[in-house]
Structure 1
Amino acid sequence: MPTRRTAAVTALAAALAVTATACGGGSASGGGDNSSPGTLTYWASNQGTSLENDRQVLEPELRAFEQQTGIKVKLEVIPWSDLLNRILAAASSGQGPDVLNIGNTWSASLQATGALLPFDAAAFQKIGGKERFLPAALDSAGAAGKDPAAVPLYSMAYGLYYNKKLFAAAGIDHPPATWEELVADGKKLTTDGRYGLALEGGNVSENVHHAFVLGKQHGADFFDTAGKPAFDSPGAVAAVKQYVDLLGTEKIAAPGNAEYANNQSVTDFATGKAAMLMWQAAGANLKSHGMNPEDYGVAPVPAPAGATGDRATTSMVAGINLAVFKNTRNTDGALKFVSFLTGTEEQTRLNRTYGSIPPVKEAQADPAFTTPELKTLAGVLGSGAKPLPQVANESQFETLVGTAVKNLLAAAAAGKPATEDSVKAELTKAQQQMPAAG
């Protein structure tokens, strides 16, 4: 959920260095904030329409778990604006929940604090096995070469949403598969106060997600093989310029999109002010604005013609991971709870409720996940999605590069289209603000 996570990502950029040095991991005697071995505390992220909606969804499931195991779960649903600060405070003090939700792109950064229980072979065996999960989702659960710091709970991917009626009126009979086609279609669709594409340019997380995908398509990873930032490489510069040009040079997105940060682009698409939208599992949001599934189609985000491998990337791996606090007094109970939430039945029920994709492969067989939208997004997640860089400084990368793109979009909206020099200058400045490794 990108807009909910922006404040949290910013908080991590400021606080992680302190936490990493303050927390050396926990011990069984340290204890979380649970008071009894027969009780677990669960910090859930806000996935529904409100905190109360999440409680209504989750409380019956927790009671079912208690009936099965005798273990009572104390639930706290935490808004995204507070979640990361709460996790960081728990990591620093050693007093935290037993089980918690984390944004999957935080995994490597929080792994570096030592506060989360590693999912080694024994832990995976207790929750039914590593092979049950989508490989792409597991790739966004911690740094390469280390045991994952969490397991996937809810998965999402980006798709290109397009308005079928507006496409037909413009004489366009299929969604664009390449960026050249997207720009050409966008220009046909930009007319009478409507634009071809809606962007969420004031949203740091959205910006960095698209910069990452385009970076992959241009052969840029934003970090080198040693984990050092490479924000201003030629490929990264080309990727960011291409994205900003959708608003600045190509003018298929409205200048006001540079300020959008609270799902306004989704609203514009749903109300016909824009004909295309790149978003994660937007169906429930679109329905809340009166747009029905038959009104739109969903296709993969464009890629270069004939692209293969990383250059065919069309989404970052999006989603929510489930972690166990290392200081829990009840590791066995916590792993039983993780096993319950990642079981096929619960995966089906919870992801169906939230409109997300089950990262557990067996759960995807449920008819609820075979709608045209979710079937397309599941295909993207399975073959076209790559995890954001799994390095300890990943969250700082999100904040700094996302802000650089925001600045460039604002300049373009003000009549100053991006140039290679202006893009490189912004990305170089972002790279210079990265903390030193170690």
Structure 2
Amino acid sequence: EVLKEFERENPGVRVIVQQIPWTSAHEKLLTAFAGDALPDVAQMGNTWIAEFAALDAVAGLDEMAEASSVIKEEDYFPGIWATNVVGHSLYGVPWYVDTRLLFYRQDILKASGIGRPPRDWAEWMQAATAVKEHVGKDNFAFYVPLNEYEMQVSLALQQGVPLLRDGDRYGNFSSPELVAALDFYLDFFRKGLAPPSSETDIANVWDEFARGHFTFYLTGPWNIGEFRRRLPADLQDKWMTAILPGPSGPGASTAGGSSLVVFKHSAHKDAAFRLVEFLSRPEIQQQFYEISGNLPPRRSSWRG
């Protein structure tokens, strides 16, 4: 329905949507680039922007954004806008934002003798240990898929040191702070508090959360709607979310999300950017939030 409105406003323009599973989107975009078969416009994970800019696959949007009456840099949250800037040039427009936070079963936490969600690393490990003792050997305190990197990055960011060193040429992994972050992460597996599995090893994460196979789950706001839809009615008042704990208090998490990009060799750049503008309108972003649960990147979209 949202795109039909765009087509009504732009007679002669038809939008053909191809949906790609997130797990294969990056590979498919690279394949399309190699085969000179990229679309005009795409949703792109903001961690991919620099890569596709380096490949010279995406168009610079500075001139179009500066001339736009819709897209205003000052209305976007600065950190998210910055993820779209590479070498002082804008290559994407933020579409939605997300982060990682803790989803947890407050009933299991309470039954384990823990009265509130953990606020720092020590409380987190203490809570996970108490939960594991309560739920027994066949269940776990925490589920964090091994094929996801966001927890490790979040823990590293919480340490307040650069992730890269030597002119951003090497990872700063040997620094004491990042070693401590990784050590804390590994303790969940060493102590048997989290299963050493990837997301493909669990067929239905919502069912497993509902039956108490794990109490803490690191995921993002897109799952709020899924939990409301998929968990049984008697569990709807028993799950909550919490800020990711940090070393000595509430900690940082990753600034993720997706952006809208126009590909450099598009034959319809003007129409493609009009679509980017349309999807960037605050009222359209509010509609998209209602449909998907994804959080708008613009301040004005949050004001009503």
Whether the 8 Å contact between 1:271 and 1:289 is mirrored in structure 2 is no
1:279 corresponds in structure 2 to 219
Could you tell me which of 140, 154, 163 is aligned with 1:195?
Answer: 140
Question: Does the C-alpha gap of structure 1 residues 80 and 297 become closer, same or farther in structure 2, counting only changes over 3 Å?
Answer: closer
Give TM-score scaled by structure 1 length: 0.62
Q: CA deviation at 1:271?
A: 2.3
Whether the 8 Å contact between 2:120 and 2:249 is mirrored in structure 1 is no
2:273 corresponds in structure 1 to 335
Whether the 8 Å contact between 1:222 and 1:233 is mirrored in structure 2 is no
1:152 corresponds in structure 2 to 94
Question: Does the C-alpha gap of structure 1 residues 197 and 163 become closer, same or farther in structure 2, counting only changes over 3 Å?
Answer: same
Query: Normalized per residue, which structure has more helix?
Result: 1
In 1, the alpha carbon distance for the partners of 2:215 and 2:249 equals 25
Whether the 8 Å contact between 1:270 and 1:286 is mirrored in structure 2 is no
Q: CA deviation at 1:75?
A: 1.7
Is 1:136 paired with 2:76? no
Q: How does 1:179-328 map to 2 (within 5 A)?
A: 179-190=121-132, 191-193=134-136, 194-201=139-146, 203=147, 206=148, 208-224=149-165, 226-234=167-175, 235-249=177-191, 251-253=192-194, 257-262=195-200, 264=202, 266-281=206-221, 282-291=223-232, 293-305=236-248, 312-313=251-252, 315-328=253-266
Q: CA deviation at 1:270?
A: 2.9
Question: Does the C-alpha gap of structure 1 residues 120 and 88 become closer, same or farther in structure 2, counting only changes over 3 Å?
Answer: same
Q: How does 1:11-410 map to 2 (within 5 A)?
A: 60-70=1-11, 71-126=13-68, 127-143=70-86, 145-190=87-132, 191-193=134-136, 194-201=139-146, 203=147, 206=148, 208-224=149-165, 226-234=167-175, 235-249=177-191, 251-253=192-194, 257-262=195-200, 264=202, 266-281=206-221, 282-291=223-232, 293-305=236-248, 312-313=251-252, 315-366=253-304
Name the aligned partner's letter for residue 197 of structure 1: F
Name the aligned partner's letter for residue 78 of structure 2: P
Q: CA deviation at 1:221?
A: 3.5
Question: Does the C-alpha gap of structure 1 residues 277 and 321 become closer, same or farther in structure 2, counting only changes over 3 Å?
Answer: same
In 2, the alpha carbon distance for the partners of 1:247 and 1:232 equals 20
In 2, the alpha carbon distance for the partners of 1:242 and 1:63 equals 49
Whether the 8 Å contact between 1:162 and 1:298 is mirrored in structure 2 is yes
Question: What SS class does the counterpart of residue 262 from structure 1 fall into?
Answer: helix
Name the aligned partner's letter for residue 271 of structure 1: R
Whether the 8 Å contact between 2:142 and 2:214 is mirrored in structure 1 is yes
Whether the 8 Å contact between 2:157 and 2:163 is mirrored in structure 1 is no
Name the aligned partner's letter for residue 130 of structure 1: E
Question: Does the C-alpha gap of structure 1 residues 104 and 340 become closer, same or farther in structure 2, counting only changes over 3 Å?
Answer: same
Whether the 8 Å contact between 1:160 and 1:300 is mirrored in structure 2 is yes
Q: CA deviation at 1:243?
A: 0.3
Q: CA deviation at 1:121?
A: 4.9
Question: Does the C-alpha gap of structure 1 residues 112 and 339 become closer, same or farther in structure 2, counting only changes over 3 Å?
Answer: same
In 2, the alpha carbon distance for the partners of 1:128 and 1:232 equals 38
Matched length:
293
Q: Deviations over 1:269-306 (max 9, x none)?
A: 23222221221122233234325542212111001226
Whether the 8 Å contact between 1:198 and 1:268 is mirrored in structure 2 is no
In 1, the alpha carbon distance for the partners of 2:34 and 2:214 equals 45
Q: CA deviation at 1:213?
A: 1.1
Q: Deviations over 1:192-216 (max 9, x none)?
A: 4243222212x2xx2x211111112
Q: CA deviation at 1:318?
A: 1.6
Question: Does the C-alpha gap of structure 1 residues 159 and 80 become closer, same or farther in structure 2, counting only changes over 3 Å?
Answer: closer
Whether the 8 Å contact between 2:45 and 2:259 is mirrored in structure 1 is yes
User: Which 5+ residue runs of structure 1 have no aligned equivalent?
Assistant: 1-59, 367-438
Name the aligned partner's letter for residue 170 of structure 1: S
Question: Does the C-alpha gap of structure 1 residues 186 and 317 become closer, same or farther in structure 2, counting only changes over 3 Å?
Answer: same
Q: CA deviation at 1:150?
A: 0.9
Let me know the Cα RMSD of the aligned residues: 2.3
In 1, the alpha carbon distance for the partners of 2:182 and 2:123 equals 19
Whether the 8 Å contact between 1:159 and 1:279 is mirrored in structure 2 is yes
Name the aligned partner's letter for residue 232 of structure 1: F
Whether the 8 Å contact between 1:100 and 1:324 is mirrored in structure 2 is yes
Question: Does the C-alpha gap of structure 1 residues 84 and 275 become closer, same or farther in structure 2, counting only changes over 3 Å?
Answer: closer
Q: CA deviation at 1:108?
A: 0.8
Q: CA deviation at 1:128?
A: 2.6
In 1, the alpha carbon distance for the partners of 2:285 and 2:201 equals 26
Whether the 8 Å contact between 1:65 and 1:340 is mirrored in structure 2 is yes
Name the aligned partner's letter for residue 45 of structure 2: G
Identity %: 25
Dislocated runs of 4+, deviation >4 Å: none
User: Which 5+ residue runs of structure 2 have no aligned equivalent?
Assistant: none
Give TM-score scaled by structure 2 length: 0.87
In 2, the alpha carbon distance for the partners of 1:306 and 1:199 equals 20
Q: CA deviation at 1:110?
A: 0.9
